[in-house]
Chains A and B, each alone.
Chain A
């Protein structure tokens, strides 16, 4: 009879580990970044500086880089993800639907270092030749395109991230789209709507799920490390256009970490960057989870 009583306690012990790990991670970020915030306060976040010799750090460029890269990613990925979801749930025949869903699952499971390798040697040169250089030549007067592009820059990182998050966002939207009650669809058709008008109506119906998919995908994009580190250019300058080379917070950590031990404030600066990334990511992901849960309660 004692096994009967111990078993739930044993299980509860294992379930507690996830709470401990998350707590441990938060503590490690706070404790290790404490010195830089103690010395510089919030100016650490809002200044542009990276001078290890003078122990002067400000991560504004990396923060802006993270925002720019994920904004590019989500604005490219969202229309494509919605199209992919609608195509698979509504337009494609059953046999093709199965293939599309498998391929999209495979894309979501591919290691990011493979995306990075491909991005660096295939995507970056192609984008540079066929997209970025023409844009700069003909629309260079627009501030967004004003920098003369080299293959690896913020824009390339944004496009590569878009490719990586499409299957993820699409699967959330696809699930919501397929879960729309059938009678709603029938009612829409019975009003004499065309197929596109029905699709538009249903997309309006699931807009909270689309929002949730967008937020969760944005969270992924902000936290991605190696794929971005391979194509973003890795230079801590203030970004002047989409085609400028730059840094994101994760790629800054990945790149600068090997040198950090040699200086007294670089390690705290990197942990500080991670703390800001963590807080931003947490807010975005909680928003996404909140919208998903709201949909689940409604249905």
Chain B
């Protein structure tokens, strides 16, 4: 009798766990289905190129300026954060015994958890307030601060995972440290480093909060210089979704489908890289 009750409780609890686990995965599928069913129909070549439509009236319109802006911002952020993040990660991995490395790693772990809006406030003070104008450079710097910790910590993992014997072999060749780390060992860590950069790109492409305080985003021009306001896809989705115009809501869904496709593509590529390493 007693054994029986335990078996029944066992079945019930396992059932509850399975149901809750499946329930927690439902939203992602709902999001994928909703974004594509609402947004995919607007995506045409013109949608990717054209200026946004007027809120009322005819004309398809598109997300051209936001797409160009996002490309510029992500590229700039990748260059800045890629350089800083890569060398920081290398230092964390190879000089992990130093006090500086220990502190830097702790600070980076805290930075990952920073509310990104605070990074926006910082970029505003440093780069927007002095210029008295919202500008692309402030947005790019803010994005790079957001992704530096992701890149640095992933690069650290990549270099840490190189077998010690390989490192010894590289240095026994008698080459200098830069050559050993950046030519020989980088080759061994290349998948991890590439994944680190891809993670950074995906983060930068989808980040919105710091852009609210740095690039303004309401401009209808494609690109006017790094000291001028610029638009970005996530910011356009945010602004248009909250606008009262049905037409702009449609553009927001279309832009969300574009952004989701970019994120999915990066996700699949990084999965393929990881799989290649494992086999």
Q: What residues of chain A have their CB less than 8 Å away from a CB belonging to chain B?
A: 1, 3-4, 7-8, 10-12, 14-19, 21-22, 24-25, 28-29, 32, 79-81, 83-84, 86-88, 91, 100, 102-107, 109-118, 120-122, 163, 166, 170, 194-197, 199, 216, 219-220, 222-226, 229-230, 250, 253-254, 257, 270-271, 274, 277-278, 281-282, 285-286, 289
Contacts and interface: CB of A to CB of B under 8 A. Distances in A.
B208 interface: yes
Given A25-B122, A195-B14, A114 B35 contact: yes
A18 B178 contact: no
Contacts of A286: 110
B237 A117 contact: yes
Contacts of A16: 100, 104
B170 interface: no
Contact of B31 (A87, A115, A282): A115
A49 to B, nearest CB: 21
Given A19-B104, A226-B209, A277-B115, A28 B126 contact: yes
A118 to B, nearest CB: 5
Given A18-B108, A216-B113, A274-B117, A226 B178 contact: no
Contact of A170 (B7, B24, B176, B207): B24
Contacts of A110: 28, 31, 206, 260, 263
A254 B117 contact: yes
Interface of B: 6-7, 9-10, 13-14, 16-18, 20-25, 27-28, 30-31, 34-35, 38, 83-84, 87-88, 90-92, 94-95, 98, 100-101, 103-104, 106-111, 113-119, 121-122, 125-126, 145, 148-149, 152, 176-178, 181, 199, 202-203, 205-209, 212-213, 234, 237-238, 241-242, 249, 252-253, 256, 259-260, 263-264, 267, 271
Given A28-B125, A80-B20, 19 more contacts: A4-B176, A11-B90, A12-B100, A16-B100, A18-B152, A80-B24, A106-B267, A107-B25, A109-B267, A111-B207, A112-B206, A113-B256, A114-B31, A118-B35, A121-B241, A195-B14, A222-B115, A250-B117, A277-B118
Interface hub of A107, A114, A250, A271 (most chain B Cβ within 10 A): A114
Contacts of A277: 115, 118
A225 B110 contact: no
Contact of B88 (A18, A87, A163): A18
Contacts of B252: 117
19 contacts: A11-B95, A15-B88, A24-B122, A28-B126, A80-B23, A91-B14, A102-B271, A106-B264, A109-B202, A109-B263, A110-B28, A110-B260, A111-B208, A112-B208, A114-B31, A117-B241, A225-B209, A278-B118, A285-B113
Contact of A230 (B87, B104, B241): B241
